[in-house]
Amino acid sequence: MSDGSLSQDEIDALLQGSSMDFDEAPAADESGLSAKAKMDFTSFLNDTVSSKEANLGGMIGESLSLKAPGIEIVKSSDLGAGFEGSLVEIKMDYSEGVQGAHSYIFNEAFASVMAGKMMGQSEVELNEAALSALEEAANTIAGAAATSIGELVGVTVMNAPGKTGVMSGSELTFASDYVLKATFPVELEGSEPSTLVELFDINIVKEIASHIGSSSEPDPMAALGMNGGTDMMGMPVQSGGQMDMGQMGMGQMGGGMGFNQANVQSVQFPNLTPQLSAGEQGNIGLLMDVYMEMTVELGRTKRLIKDILGMGEGTIIELDKLAGEPVDILVNHKLIAKGEVVVIDENFGVRVTEIISPMDRVSEIT
């Protein structure tokens, strides 16, 4: 019975550039995944390593090392045998574009370290707040992966809302009969080496792998409008045999004919303002009807516990804001603007006087 790994004959064929037919060769495992599909999907996962590394490192505010994954195909019934101790599973199923079960798994000790660093602490108890932080990290890397998959298959790919829980390996369940298990070695300074495990429904793997390598490489000469090769002087010509002078500067001809004219053009510098890709804009469009909590903060202060316990009716609490100073406007507890308090009929309101710059908003989040 094949375990999904490549045989020596298949490895030799790949190294020698053989035209081996993977679909006809006895290379498919019992899950129906061919050796070529497995190799293509492994290549796809390798391309996601740097993105996962950067996103996780950004979430915890420290450098993190993530290595290329080890790949294996396992039966769902045998999935728990590969894990020891308590685990944190973050289910991020694919619900649109491609559909199927998908999870991230950390061991409990490393999950505690990750959540602690995200919350500005050392190791923390894996309570609801810590699990929410880990789910946010998983949502970040899952969103980036969904964008990559969407570009590959040509549709918008979305994840279902995450579900996070602490469990043992024997409690892991998967809807499909077979699972692709990708184990990424991960290292974080000051912590024991660990792993990030990513689990995929085998049907998702087959669908994604079927699109890899299906698009042909673009013709670089066609991009220049030149598909007829060169003439006897080495000049590019159109398919009709005519040299396209409109696509050549006189400076290009000068090397062989003694002309000194140069094709001078103004320099076009790239726009340094971050732009959203078409895929990202499409994804954001799906969120436009989602409600978010907006609050206005008049001010803050800190008090000793004994002072708080001693509070009573009539106690005056002095805040850290001066009278007349703009109040803070927050969305999901993140500062986005400042404003001044106004009265609208019998209700309080806020007139926006300043929008926080994107860079300042990023610094607030990080």
Residues recorded for the chain: 366
**Alpha helices of the chain — where are they, by DSSP H?**
8-15, 35-47, 49-60, 108-118, 128-153, 202-211, 220-223, 250-257, 278-285, 305-309, 358-365
Q: How far is CA 176 from the centre of its chain?
A: 24
Q: How many other C-beta atoms lie within 10 A of the C-beta of residue 237?
A: 17
Question: Which structural domains are found in the chain, ordered by start?
Answer: 30-211 (3.40.1550.10), 289-365 (2.30.330.10)
**End-to-end alpha-carbon separation of the chain, Å?**
49
Query: What DSSP string runs through 47-61?
Result: HTHHHHHHHHHHHHT
Burial 205-215 (b: 16+ CB within 10 A, else e): bbbbbebbeee
Taking the C-alpha atoms of residue 301 and residue 307, their distance in angstroms, rounded to an integer, is 12
How much is the pLDDT for 164?
A: 92
Residue whose entry in the numeric block shows the structure tokens 């409690």: 171
In our burial notation (b when 16+ CB lie closer than 10 A, e otherwise), range 123-151 reads bbebeeebbebbbebbbbbbbebbbbbbe
Phi, psi values for residue 94, rounded to 5°: -85, 125
Rounded mean pLDDT for each run of 10 residues along the chain, 366 residues in total: 57 54 55 89 92 88 90 90 89 91 93 87 83 89 89 89 90 88 92 92 91 57 47 49 45 45 57 52 63 86 86 87 86 86 85 79 53
* 137 vs 118: CA distance, rounded Å: 9
What gap in Å lies between CA 82 and CA 254, rounded to an integer?
68
Beta-carbon count within 10 A of 98 CB = 23
Give the full edge-to-edge strand order of the sheet including 294-297. 294-297, 327-331, 334-344, 347-355
Q: Which residue has the tokens 């006809």?
A: 24
In whole angstroms, give the CA distance from residue 56 to residue 104: 13
Q: Which residue has the tokens 């740097």?
A: 50
Write out the two tokens for 74.
């396992």
pTM over 0.85: no
